[in-house]
Structure 1
Amino acid sequence: MARAENKTEAGGTAHLVAALAKALREQQDLSQEQLGRMIGYTASAVSAMETCAQPASDQMLAKLEETIGGGLGVFEKARTLMRLDKYPAQFKNYVLLEQRALTLSTYVTFVVHGLFQTEDYARALIGGGYPPLKDERVEELVEGRLARRALFDREPTALIELVVEESALRRPIGSRAVMHGQLLHLAECAKRRNVTLQVLPMDCGTHGEHFGCRGDMTLVETPQHEHLAYLEPQDESVLVSDPAKVTTYSQRYAKIRSQALGPRESLGLIERLAGEIQ
């Protein structure tokens, strides 16, 4: 929805896209109404985009590239940059690492990891957080979260590992139907050749050892073969590059993984839980 405050909240990419789209439209002697018809939007939607009252959506950028982009690829490139603008400030630096990672090894405790979330699960989770967000902002964050899934099919192939607490799979988010869909999606992700998904069972601490008791973590290997650790406690962003500290996190992750069910057992548990909440 177009809002006056969007003009001041919009990021630099949105303003650049607006100026470029207007310049190319005028260069091609098109009115806002004419361009709107070409890309399937109203003249008011084009006007809102050019003033940043409603920055261009991913779909609008694709249409602008097709119609007035002139083969330059600028609107296509802007699609990636606009998605970055929609992420929370503390997450923007990490998501660039995630998109380019060679390997990604993650342990999560309370909820399903963002890369593996369905649209409905993400919407329920983001919309139900605190402080409450406007509906438009919730949709922006959902769109940005779903865009991260491109990592699964990226070339060169990324190796993705996830260890998730069983309690996160049993915790209903949104509704039973939402959770059912989420578990089925997790099962499909687990069958990908570049994904290893393991469940840390509820009873892993029965004998006094629970190596994941200090919370979530993500280990990243960059294209330059650097090894980093990423933590996100209470909406803060902590990127650890010190080799000694990263080694400690890597060792802890290895111990967590050793306590988890194997991939086949984990898939069986996920499918069984999905069947229980139909």
Structure 2
Amino acid sequence: MLSHYCSIITSLEFSPDGKYVVSADRDFKIRVTVFPKKPLDGAHEIQSFCLGHTEFVSCLAFVCTQEYPQGFLVSGSGDSTVRLWDIPSGSLLNTCEIGEKAGLLESNDGETECCSAVTDLCTSLDGSLVAVAVQSLQGIVILNCDLSSRTLSHAKVVSICGGTFIPTSLRTCSATGLLWMVTGVSDLHVSEHPSLARVRVISGFRKSNPDSHQHEPLLLEDNEIPAGTKLLEKLQGSLSYSEEDFLAAAEAVKKAMSNLLIKKQYSAENREFRKRTRNDKKGKP
């Protein structure tokens, strides 16, 4: 359906009403395409472009409420921002600088990065919160999302202390207010070797009363998760990799993805040379 796209697609989502398919790519763009009546013929009718990111767009999510059932779009990027968009028009409504918050905490190697990429994000079911995973940030950033004023704002950073924390996926489900995270190597002692995945859970991922601290986002210990370690054992499984092997592989993946997603800059002379030596031009009259 999207085989005619000319850029690397980094994220793909369907709008809540099923009218649009929204794609993000390496070239800083978000494309809103009308979902076709005949998908096998391709999706060619463009509704809008969401333009404003200055690096690759890494992730997308929709935020909906009863007051705004049509929903809005939130996006994360390699430029360390999360942005709120109007879907039909592609208008940028608000920008939240996540990099400023990420700089407050140490990265996994003890250093801070001035421009850490947003790796994933997830919205609460009531549309009031956005959870954001940031490269090299030892925690999850929670944003307030106010659709009535079309704004995003910092609410809290939930720190994840100890162990390897490389968040790759965030999801929430049902009305429990639990945020599920897939991170680095598991340290559950269920076998001789750790598993490749580590599942962590944050409670209170929903809007709470401003005067109450009862439902504030909080990292749960394994024994506090519903069904406890038995559930985690099933979710995480077991693979024969040491943590040292995993860290080496994670660093290699990080470099490879950086080379893939961040566009290289060439001098004018270099660009002309690359154009003259393009493989797709060879053999043509």
Report TM bin, short chain: under 0.3
Structure with the higher helix share, 1 or 2: 1
Larger RCO, structures 1/2 (Cα 8 Å, 6+ apart): 1
Q: Normalised by the size of structure 2, how large is the TM-score?
A: 0.22
Structure with the higher strand share, 1 or 2: 2
Q: Normalised by the size of structure 1, how large is the TM-score?
A: 0.23
